[in-house]
Amino acid sequence: MLELFRNPKNLGKIKDADASATAGSLACGDMITIYLKVDEKTEKIIEASFESYGCAANIAASSILTELIKEKYLQEAWKISWKQVSDELGGLPSIKLHCGILAVGALRRAIRAYYKNRERPEWLPEELTPEERQALEEEELMNILGKKMRAVSTKPSEKEV
């Protein structure tokens, strides 16, 4: 994992990417963007890359995920779970599991983005998968917390248990 942090694979933006998507936000301290270059005919991923604002585990998870999906059909890439990402890294500790989930969330969003102006294949569910929902929940939570922060006046506060 440390090696992947030191020398991440597939780091950086793909300028002419066919699809890209971000999960997380600056405010939650974890943000991953995934870029995909896809062969139009075969729907195979030719190139995948990432950028990450996050901890070392986050960077390693994004790096390994982009390795895993290279040369895969979008349908296969869609099926990759956060558990596989964690296993590939030798098992993420429980407090870092959300890094794997966020990376998978970003990938699935990128795949959805690819099909935004194309016909949705049957294997792509309309409903959000748990990984996508988790990304959404983290973003929403930070939104709420951010609003709460701004609303905090300088009054003393009785703590809520």
Catalytic positions: 28, 99
Kindly determine how many residues on this chain lie close enough to bind other proteins according to the rule CB under 8 A.
43
Among 18, 37, 44, 51, binds other proteins (CB under 8 A): 51
* C-alpha torsion 16→18→22→26, nearest 10: 10
Contact of 48 with 37, CB cutoff 8 Å: yes
Contact of 23 with 31, CB cutoff 8 Å: yes
Among 55, 113, 124, 136, binds other proteins (CB under 8 A): 55
Distance CA 83, CA 104 (A): 10
Is 28 among the residues that bind other proteins (CB under 8 A)?
Answer: yes
Nearer to other proteins, 22 or 129 (CB): 22
Binding residues among 80-119 for other proteins as defined by CB under 8 A: 90-91, 95-96
Distance CA 70, CA 48 (A): 6
Is 130 among the residues that bind other proteins (CB under 8 A)?
Answer: no
